[in-house]
């Protein structure tokens, strides 16, 4: 496939996505795609991200391993 055909297919598929977990994963891929793997963050930024992650866990904003496996099974059925 060429780039334009791929983009068209992706747009069509995104229009049909109803799973919020999948949408969040796609959003994160797009959000971080420009970061270079060798790019380093400051210790302050690292600690901020850790603190944000801990706060999400404390609010119950996470999926268990079993829940993730179930989501993956559902993706395969679509």
In sequence order, what DSSP letters do the residues of 43-69 get, joined into one string?
HHHHHHHHHHHHHHHHTT----HHHHH
Instruction: Quick: pLDDT tens for 13-70.
Output: 889 888 888 888 888 888 877 665 557 788 999 999 999 999 999 999 999 999 999 9
Residue 77 has a pLDDT of 77
Residue of higher predicted confidence among 75 and 78: 75
DSSP letter assigned to residue 17: -
Q: Is a pLDDT exceeding 70 seen at residue 78? A: no
């Amino acid at each position: 496939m060429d780039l334009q055909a791929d983009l068209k297919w992706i747009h069509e598929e995104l229009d049909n996505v109803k799973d919020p977990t999948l949408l969040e994963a796609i959003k994160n891929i797009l959000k971080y795609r420009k970061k270079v793997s060798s790019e380093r963050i400051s210790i302050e930024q690292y600690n901020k991200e850790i603190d944000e992650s801990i706060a999400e866990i404390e609010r119950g904003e996470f999926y268990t391993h079993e829940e993730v496996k179930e989501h993956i099974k559902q993706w395969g059925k679509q």
